[in-house]
Amino acid sequence: MPIHHLFFSLILISLSISLSAQPFQWPEGKKAAISLSFDDARLTNIDNGLPLFKKYGTRVTYYVNPPNMQPRLEGWKQAVKDGHEIGNHTIHHPCTGNFEWSREKALENYTLASMRRELIEANQQIYEMLGVVPRSFAYTCGQTFVGRGANTRSYVPLVDELFVSGRGWMDEAPNDPMFADAGPTLSIEIWTERILKQKSNP
């Protein structure tokens, strides 16, 4: 996933495809849930997103990289006041070094220990900036590994330890609420380069 793209995820959990013998009871008779999330703490999240979501009474999850929050810090504080969730998206946004732009922060050069340090540090920075501790995480580039070759390790168990949920990317399948593993929550990504760049008018 090129970092310059803006996208949001729709995490769809539907009973219609559930194979569970025990039915899941949605509140108020609902049959599914959709979660909207935006990554990377982009300027448009604040400049266009906040007024748009306020207009429609919608709350979303913003998965942020703390360094990207600095230019709009007051706006991020307002996002918290407006009831939006703030999630962890690492500090450096590491992805596979197969993406040339990620070569200096390649997941192949990470270890479980260095990823743990980064996730904890990101949580600390977010808390210092916004007064909230993230409860959810979004895997950068949807990639859930660190290391290379025989030293490759999944960091899903680490995310499961530190967060309530971990959102994936390009996992085009619904999550069964009676079976789904919250560590790597499946999600459908819809590219929306223009959505938050448009004016708030429908």
- pLDDT tens-digit readout, 105-149: 999 999 999 999 999 999 999 999 999 999 999 999 999 999 999
- pLDDT tens-digit readout, 61-88: 999 999 999 999 999 999 999 999 999 9
Q: Is the pLDDT of residue 12 over 60?
A: no
Lowest mean pLDDT segment, chosen from 22-31, 81-90, 161-170, 176-185: 176-185
- pLDDT tens-digit readout, 53-62: 999 999 999 9
Average pLDDT over residues 144-167: 94
Q: Is the pLDDT of residue 185 over 60?
A: no
Cα 100–Cα 104–Cα 110 angle in degrees, nearest 5? 115
Residue 180: pLDDT band (50, 70, 90) is low
Residue 175: per-residue pLDDT: 55
Lowest mean pLDDT segment, chosen from 35-39, 74-78, 104-108, 181-185: 181-185
Measured distance CA(63)–CA(126) in Å, rounded: 11
Could you give the 3-state DSSP secondary structure of residue 110? coil
Q: Is the pLDDT of residue 197 over 70?
A: no
Residue 34: per-residue pLDDT: 80
Higher-confidence residue: 127 or 8?
A: 127
DSSP labels, 170-198: S--S---TTT--STTB--EEEE-TTGGGS
Q: Is the pLDDT of residue 152 over 50?
A: yes
Q: pTM value?
A: 0.78
- Where do the DSSP E strands lie in the chain? 7-14, 32-39, 61-64, 85-88, 136-138, 145-146, 153-154, 165-167, 188-191
Whether the CB-CB separation of 45 and 196 falls below 8 Å is answered with yes
Q: In 36-99, which ranges are continuous DSSP H helix?
A: 43-44, 50-55, 66-69, 73-81
Q: Is the pLDDT of residue 188 over 90?
A: no
Average pLDDT over residues 33-41: 89
DSSP 8-state secondary structure symbol assigned to residue 48: I
Residue 189: per-residue pLDDT: 47
Give the long-range contacts of residues 91-95, CB within 8 A, separation 24 or more. Answer: 91/65, 91/66, 91/67, 91/118, 91/121, 91/122, 91/125, 92/65, 92/118, 93/3, 93/40, 93/65, 93/140, 94/118, 94/140, 95/1, 95/3, 95/140, 95/141, 95/143
